[in-house]
Amino acid sequence: MGRIVFIMNTVYLVQHENIEDDYIEEPRIVGVYSSEKLAQEAIKRAKTISEFCDYPEGFQVTKYILDKDQWLGGFKFIQ
């Protein structure tokens, strides 16, 4: 029998930030998933954890294409 080879070229990064007034914490990486559906399922699970459920609006899913530069704009320091 032949083998089926699955080549993944996209991942979905789930992050969470606590945002209160003017204070934003560094994002926490919840996980990296092979589909948006799995990423959304991870968010549902994470919302049951006390620290995350206090800030349910803090989740973000970002799609990344593998082997491609993601940040090309440089950066500035803000004081």
pLDDT, tens digit, 9 for 90 and up, residues 53-75? 888 889 999 999 999 988 888 77
pLDDT band at 23 (very low <50, low <70, confident <90, very high): confident
* pLDDT at site 13: 97
Q: Tokens 């320091």 label which residue? A: 77
Q: Do 53 and 45 touch, CB atoms closer than 8 A?
A: no
Q: Do 50 and 16 touch, CB atoms closer than 8 A?
A: no
Say what the pTM is.
Answer: 0.77
DSSP SS3 for 40 = helix
Instruction: Report the percentage of the chain scoring pLDDT > 70.
Output: 94
Q: What is the CA radius of gyration of the chain?
A: 16
